[in-house]
Chains A and B, each alone.
Chain A
Amino acid sequence: MSQTLNIFRREIASYFATPVAYVFIVIFLLLMGWFSWGFGRLFESGQADLYGPFFNFHPWLYLFLVPAISMRLWAEERKSGTIELLLTLPVSMLQAVIGKFLAAWAFCGLALALTFPVWISVNYLGEPDNGVILAGYVGSFLMAGGFLAIGSCISATTRNQVVAFILTVVVCFAFLLFGLSGVIDFFRGWAPSALVDALAGLSFSTHFDAIAKGVLDLRDILFFLLVIAFWLAANAIVIDLKKAD
C-alpha cells in the first residue's frame, strides 16, 4: 500500500513539474465553459440544472482529453527506459499500475473539481437540486476513471504516445457509441437482441446518463469500478508480456 502511495506521489509531482498539468487544466476548463455556457445554452435555457447543458458534454470532452493524459502513463516509461528501473525496484506490478492510475485519476478529479464556478453560478441563478448535481459529478468522475483505465492499458502496448492516444480515442469512442439510441436502433434491426442489450449494457453513456440524472444506483457505480479493475488487470498483463521489447 505504501509503495502504491510512493508511486502515486511521484506521478502527481511529475504532472506539475511540466506544463502538461497547467495546459490540460486550462483547456479543460475553457472547453467546459464554452460547452455549457455557449453550446449548451446554460443561461438561456432558463433551467437551474446541470444535466443537459453541462454533464451531457462530459463523455465527449473526455473522449479527447482523457487519452491525452493516459497516453504517457506507460508509453513514456517504455520510451525512456525508466520502466526497467521502476520494475526492478521492490514494487509489485499491481502497485505500479494502480499507483500510476490513481495519480492520473486524481489529476482528472482535480480538473473536474475546478469546474465548481458552474455549480456556484446555477445556485446563484436558481435553486437546483444539489443532490442531482453531486450525483453528476460522481458519475463524471467514475466515467473519467473508466476512460483512464482503458488508456493506461493501451499506453502499455506501445512506446509511441501518439499511437496510444489515437487507439485510446477509438476504443473509448466505441464504448460511448453503443449507448446512443440511434446506434442501438441501427443494430436492433438485424442483430440478436441479446447481443444488442449486452453491448448497450457495456456502454459508458448508458451508465453515466443514469447516474447524472440523479439516480445513484449501486449497479452503475459497480459497473465503472469493474471496468476499471478489468482494464487495470489487463494493463498489468500487457506490461508483463511486452516488457522485453
Chain B
Amino acid sequence: MIEIKDLRKDFGSLTAVRDLSFEVPEGQVLGFLGPNGAGKSTTMKMICGFLTPTAGSVSVCGFDIETQPLEAKRCMGYLPEGAPGYGEMTPQQFLDFIADIRGLDTAQRRERQGKVIDQLQLGRVLHQSIDTLSKGFRRRVGLAQALLHDPRVLILDEPTDGLDPNQKHEVRELIGALAKDKIVIVSTHILEEVEAVCDRAIIIARGRLLADATPQELEAKSRYHNAVRLTTSELDAAVEQISRLANVTHVDVERNSRRLVAIPQSGTAPFGEISKLAQEQGWPVEELTVERGRLDEVFRQITLGGTDSQGAQA
C-alpha cells in the first residue's frame, strides 16, 4: 500500500508538484502520465525518498518515508530516470553490490540473480563494463537492479525509454507478470504502454493531478469512443447518408484510404445503425469497426485543457 497525502515540492519559487494525493493498493499497476516537466519524476523521487517533500507525506508499506526511510526503502525497488549505473562496473559486479546492500544471503543471491539475469536476458553482457553497453542493455541492468530483492513496491521511471519494440514488449510482459501481489508505479509518456500494462492511470500536468481513472474510462472520455470506421469504395454516398443519422455528430473523411470515421453523440453507439445502413444500401464494405477511443486525444484534451482555462483566468 502506498499512501500519498497533499504532496508538494517547491524548487525556489517554482512549484513542481502541488497537493497530490492518491493511494495505490496491492496488486495494482499504476501508470503515471504527463507531458515532460509535469512533475512525474519529482513525485517518484519523493516516493523513493531521494527528494524531501516541501509539504505532505508519503507512506510506503506502512512506513513514512521521512521518519522511517530505511524500512520504506527496503521494501521498494527503484529505477531512476535514465537508468544510471556505475559505468566502470560490470552488470555482475553491480548486481553483487546491490545484493550486498539489500542483504541477500548466498542462496537468495544465487536464486534472485539467476532469475533477473534470465528475465532481462543479461547473460551475454554480464562481464562487460556498463559504460560499454547499449542504451537498451543499460536500461535492463537498471531494471534488474530494481527487481533483484523481489520488492513489494516497484517504482519505474520510464522503464521502456530507449528500448526497441521487441524489448519494450518484453519489459511490458515482465511488468504484467510481476503484478499479482505487487504495487508497480510506471511513469511514461507512451500511451500504448498504459493500455498494455496499467490497471489505472493518473495524469498530471504542471504538478497537478488532472485525471485518475482506468485506461478504459479514459478512452470513454474520447470523442472517438464508439466511433465507427468504415472503408468503402462508395465513400461519397456513405458520407452523405451517415452524416444524416441523429446519433452522428461529425464524419471525418480520409479520401486517400477511402475511409470515414463517424463520431457519435456522446453516450451513443451508432455501430448498429451504420452497419444496417451499409447492408441496405449495398455498399461494398472493406472494413467496419468500432473504435474504443483514442488515449492520445484524451491526453491532449486533459493536459492542454488546463492551460486554456488557466490562461482565461489570468
Having A85-B80, A90-B101, one finds 8 other A-B pairs with CB under 8 Å, namely A10-B89, A80-B87, A90-B70, A90-B73, A90-B74, A92-B69, A92-B70, A240-B52
Chain B residues with CB below 8 A from A244, complex form: 11, 51
Stretch of A11-19, A129-137, A157-165, A211-219 lying at the B interface: A11-19
Given known A-B contacts A14-B86, A14-B88, A82-B84, A88 and B78 have beta carbons under 8 A apart: yes
- CB-contacts of A194-219 with B (<8 A): none
Residue of B nearest to A20 (CB): B88
Chain A residues with CB below 8 A from B74, complex form: 90
- CB-contacts of B87-102 with A (<8 A): 87-89, 93, 97-98, 100-102
Min CB gap A110→B, angstroms: 18
> What is the CA–CA distance of A220 and B85 in the complex, to the nearest angstrom?
41
Min CB gap A98→B, angstroms: 15
Q: Give the number of residues in B that approach A within 8 Å (Cβ atoms).
A: 30
Chain A residues with CB below 8 A from B87, complex form: 80
Chain A interface helix/strand/loop/mixed? helix
23 A-B Cβ contacts within 8 A? A3-B101, A6-B97, A6-B101, A10-B86, A10-B89, A10-B97, A14-B88, A17-B89, A80-B84, A80-B86, A81-B80, A81-B82, A82-B86, A85-B80, A85-B85, A87-B49, A87-B50, A88-B78, A90-B101, A91-B70, A240-B52, A243-B50, A245-B11
Min CB gap A19→B, angstroms: 10
> What is the CA–CA distance of A245 and B12 in the complex, to the nearest angstrom?
11
Are A88 and B101 interface neighbours, CB within 8 A? Answer: no
Residue of B nearest to A240 (CB): B52
Residue of B nearest to A13 (CB): B93
Of B48, B82, B97, B129, the contact of A88 (CB 8 Å cutoff): B48
Contact with B along A14-30 (1 / 0, CB 8 A): 10011000000000000
- CB-contacts of B124-172 with A (<8 A): 129, 145
> What is the CA–CA distance of A92 and B69 in the complex, to the nearest angstrom?
8
Chain A residues with CB below 8 A from B11, complex form: 244-245
> What is the CA–CA distance of A156 and B76 in the complex, to the nearest angstrom?
26
- CB-contacts of B32-58 with A (<8 A): 45, 48-52
Chain A residues with CB below 8 A from B102, complex form: 89-90
Contact with B along A131-146 (1 / 0, CB 8 A): 0000000000000000
Residue of A nearest to B149 (CB): A90
Chain A residues with CB below 8 A from B89, complex form: 10, 13-14, 17
Of A84, A90, A91, A243, the contact of B80 (CB 8 Å cutoff): A84
Are B80 and A88 interface neighbours, CB within 8 A? Answer: yes
Chain B residues with CB below 8 A from A6, complex form: 97, 100-101
The A-B contact count (CB < 8 A) is 66
> What is the CA–CA distance of A244 and B17 in the complex, to the nearest angstrom?
14
Please name the 7 residue pairs, one residue from A and one from B, whose CB atoms are nearest each other, closest first: A81-B84, A17-B88, A90-B73, A84-B80, A88-B48, A6-B100, A90-B74
> What is the CA–CA distance of A18 and B89 in the complex, to the nearest angstrom?
10
Min CB gap B87→A, angstroms: 7
> What is the CA–CA distance of A3 and B87 in the complex, to the nearest angstrom?
21
Are B145 and A85 interface neighbours, CB within 8 A? Answer: yes
Residue of B nearest to A7 (CB): B101
> What is the CA–CA distance of A84 and B145 in the complex, to the nearest angstrom?
13
Are B84 and A84 interface neighbours, CB within 8 A? Answer: yes
Are B88 and A18 interface neighbours, CB within 8 A? Answer: yes
> What is the CA–CA distance of A133 and B74 in the complex, to the nearest angstrom?
48
> What is the CA–CA distance of A7 and B51 in the complex, to the nearest angstrom?
21
Min CB gap A207→B, angstroms: 36
> What is the CA–CA distance of A91 and B70 in the complex, to the nearest angstrom?
7
- CB-contacts of A67-92 with B (<8 A): 80-82, 84-85, 87-92
Chain B residues with CB below 8 A from A84, complex form: 45, 50, 80, 84
Chain A residues with CB below 8 A from B76, complex form: 88
> What is the CA–CA distance of A243 and B52 in the complex, to the nearest angstrom?
10
Min CB gap A21→B, angstroms: 11
Min CB gap A216→B, angstroms: 37
> What is the CA–CA distance of A87 and B84 in the complex, to the nearest angstrom?
13
Chain A residues with CB below 8 A from B73, complex form: 88-90
Are A82 and B100 interface neighbours, CB within 8 A? Answer: no
Chain B residues with CB below 8 A from A245, complex form: 11
Chain A residues with CB below 8 A from B52, complex form: 240
Contact with B along A56-74 (1 / 0, CB 8 A): 0000000000000000000
Residue of A nearest to B97 (CB): A10
Name, among A18, A80, A88, A243, the residue most crowded by chain B CB atoms within 10 Å (CB to CB): A88
- CB-contacts of B60-85 with A (<8 A): 69-70, 73-74, 76, 78, 80-82, 84-85
Residue of B nearest to A17 (CB): B88
> What is the CA–CA distance of A182 and B82 in the complex, to the nearest angstrom?
53
> What is the CA–CA distance of A21 and B253 in the complex, to the nearest angstrom?
68
Min CB gap B69→A, angstroms: 8
Min CB gap B196→A, angstroms: 26
> What is the CA–CA distance of A17 and B89 in the complex, to the nearest angstrom?
7
Chain B residues with CB below 8 A from A243, complex form: 50-51
Chain A residues with CB below 8 A from B81, complex form: 81
